Chain A
């Protein structure tokens, strides 16, 4: 698993371009300190980050390796994986033909904190540091608008603050929100995102404060991972059935790191029962699967692996090859290599769409 990386084939390198929609540069709280008011720095030093789970350090379901990261991703000069730009260039950005990579910071960002005001202050700091600490040092790294999503109004304010700034690629939510994302309390996020012309990325993880399944708390990390798909299914259903896309027809959603094989069957299931129950949702003008097909994009890693390769190709066809975008998830342990991870059966045209062109169109990257 931990073999030394060699320079990939140069011929391939010159032909292919890669836009990676999910990497995780790591910042420390100390990096964010200059952007935080003393009140919030003191709050952090005294009370800490208070996400909706029990452990002071670490995760409810311990990962399979430290920081869920590749064991070879720890910078030789010290610090956490993906905290050192030069090493990240050497190991990833320069090793592959990366044109752009979208940063989805996971922590520390204050997202999902019990304290909404702290969450809002942290979002501003996380966004400033993405620019100063990363983008300005390497223009390939595009930022996400981290928003304090449990507070719709504060989120709207943060999106408006970043509107028109081309250094930001999308608005970033985590998938485990305290309530379903179709609920009205989250609509200011969509309104502001549409105003700003930004897609909304929903990256898996977060702490909702609720059991990870609708049948209670599981025991294992493998379940925690598997349940991201069930959580994302609930989010997609909620967004569609609540009529979010009727209200915001220009809204585009990117499901990040959620897999996608669950998506076509979810559309079929919604359609099947919508036919029987449509009197309950008269605000929907079309079959649920049509909103799904039109308004949602997916990222590849960790893409499901069928036992028979043809089956995965069928499922990708059902999702739509124009809505699938490559993600590496660098520096995490289940990293996908841009040159090796996509199914060999993908022809050049589809490969190019997935590796770069779909993202180029969605994010309007020139």
Chain B
């Protein structure tokens, strides 16, 4: 692997609520203690599930709760040069809007202080309280002043699809500040994890995120978000990749049939996606053989769609490289470096 790789998805872990205490207003700090709140970790990644932490990334405890251990793995071992932190804490699951804002602010400040300040190779996504769009916008405005925040991250399963117009102030703020919208697996748990109710197995939960990503793209396209915000970029993080071609064939065909319903969608959804949407490469949900992978890549019909990511510390690959086998050299370089740089304008800006 080339040493300049930009890892677009690593996961610092809030070790416990106490770690956030210095970043909480006194009212909330006291309230969490008084009420005995155990923390807001999401059920999306239970810590002992094999997918949540790769065994050989573990030391004596969680490998992503402090910057030294994360950096040792992501930079020294996996040879990235820059990495974008997506902190998965259950901010978006909280039912009180006020509490959600308080925790979102604490998480973002904790990331800036405990991670970005301590390793200049790290960048981060802004965590926002999606319970209240005004609060979310205010948090984007606050954090966007710090150029080390390069993206806004939203969960894949929301109370309503992300194209819906009430979300649009978030896209306006993101566009204004040159921040892509990242969408990451995770649910706000406002609905069952499939559209047909609660699955039985964690394996089903995780597979079902591919459906949520399809639904989010369908919504963003159909509602006209990309027509309204020509500068909007959406990054599907940890989404899987191989479902995309068939999905685009389906929605583009239907668009030809019923486009009168959505007149603002003035070109094929496949074209819109190639212009506005990117996907991180891990987990690469394909068979291991290079020939099938080559065919899938060919079906994407663009060498600009994919961004390198390790998804550290999740167990998505073995060995030292998350890159699927058989990629041509030129494409590999685009995925590792050029596509991330083109997607995240703030990666190129000097950080003061």
Chain A residues within an 8 Å CB radius of B287: 268, 271
Find the B residue at minimum CB distance from A65: B258
CB-CB under 8 A for A281 and B196, given A64-B257, A227-B215: no
Within 8 A of A (CB), among B247-270: 247, 249-255, 257-262, 270
Find the B residue at minimum CB distance from A208: B196
Instruction: For chain A, give the interface size range.
Output: 35 or more
Contact assessment for A226 and B218 in the assembled complex, using a CB-CB cutoff below 8 Å: yes
Contact assessment for B196 and A218 in the assembled complex, using a CB-CB cutoff below 8 Å: no
Chain A residues within an 8 Å CB radius of B352: none
Q: Report how far A269 CA is from B193 CA in the complex, Å.
A: 17
Q: Report how far A238 CA is from B246 CA in the complex, Å.
A: 21
Q: Report how far A153 CA is from B207 CA in the complex, Å.
A: 30
What's the tally of chain B residues with a CB closer than 8 Å to chain A? 72
Contact assessment for B196 and A315 in the assembled complex, using a CB-CB cutoff below 8 Å: no
Chain B residues within an 8 Å CB radius of A216: 158-161, 164, 190-191
User: A177, A183, A238: which has the most chain B beta carbons within 10 Å?
Assistant: A238
**Of the candidates B50, B164, B251, which one forms a contact with A219 in the assembled complex, judged by CB atoms under 8 Å apart?**
B164
Q: Report how far A122 CA is from B309 CA in the complex, Å.
A: 53
Chain B residues within an 8 Å CB radius of A305: 249, 252-253
Is B157 an interface residue when CB atoms closer than 8 A count as contact? yes
Find the B residue at minimum CB distance from A262: B246
Is B286 an interface residue when CB atoms closer than 8 A count as contact? yes
Chain B residues within an 8 Å CB radius of A308: 299, 301
**Of the candidates A212, A218, A259, A281, which one forms a contact with B201 in the assembled complex, judged by CB atoms under 8 Å apart?**
A281
Q: A225-254 interface mask toward B, CB cutoff 8 Å, 1 = contact, 0 = none?
A: 111011101110110011000000000000
Within 8 A of B (CB), among A184-206: none
Chain A residues within an 8 Å CB radius of B161: 213, 215-219, 223
User: B210, B223, B252, B254: which has the most chain A beta carbons within 10 Å?
Assistant: B254
Contact assessment for B247 and A229 in the assembled complex, using a CB-CB cutoff below 8 Å: yes
Contact assessment for A218 and B197 in the assembled complex, using a CB-CB cutoff below 8 Å: no
Q: Report how far A90 CA is from B208 CA in the complex, Å.
A: 44
Chain A residues within an 8 Å CB radius of B187: 214
Contact assessment for B222 and A223 in the assembled complex, using a CB-CB cutoff below 8 Å: yes
Find the A residue at minimum CB distance from B203: A277
Contact assessment for A266 and B255 in the assembled complex, using a CB-CB cutoff below 8 Å: no
Is A179 an interface residue when CB atoms closer than 8 A count as contact? yes
B133 shortest CB reach to chain A, Å: 15
User: B163, B246, B249, B286: which has the most chain A beta carbons within 10 Å?
Assistant: B246
Contact assessment for B285 and A269 in the assembled complex, using a CB-CB cutoff below 8 Å: yes
Chain A residues within an 8 Å CB radius of B159: 215-216
Is B138 an interface residue when CB atoms closer than 8 A count as contact? no
Chain A residues within an 8 Å CB radius of B196: 176-181, 208, 210, 231, 234-235, 238
Contact assessment for B249 and A280 in the assembled complex, using a CB-CB cutoff below 8 Å: no
**Of the candidates B158, B214, B245, which one forms a contact with A311 in the assembled complex, judged by CB atoms under 8 Å apart?**
B245
Is B202 an interface residue when CB atoms closer than 8 A count as contact? yes
CB-CB under 8 A for A182 and B200, given A226-B250, A262-B250, A304-B250: yes
Is B192 an interface residue when CB atoms closer than 8 A count as contact? yes
Chain B residues within an 8 Å CB radius of A348: none
Find the A residue at minimum CB distance from B284: A272
Chain A residues within an 8 Å CB radius of B223: 219-220
Chain A residues within an 8 Å CB radius of B182: none
Other CB < 8 Å A-B pairs besides A210-B192, A215-B216, A277-B49, 14 of them? A176-B196, A180-B198, A213-B212, A221-B261, A222-B255, A237-B199, A237-B208, A262-B243, A265-B246, A266-B207, A273-B206, A273-B207, A304-B250, A305-B249
25 contacts between A and B (CB under 8 A): A64-B257, A176-B195, A179-B196, A180-B199, A213-B215, A214-B215, A215-B158, A215-B215, A215-B219, A219-B222, A220-B222, A222-B222, A223-B218, A226-B250, A227-B218, A230-B215, A234-B199, A261-B250, A265-B285, A269-B210, A272-B286, A273-B283, A304-B250, A305-B253, A334-B257
3 tightest Cβ-Cβ pairs between the two chains A and B: A261-B246, A213-B215, A304-B249
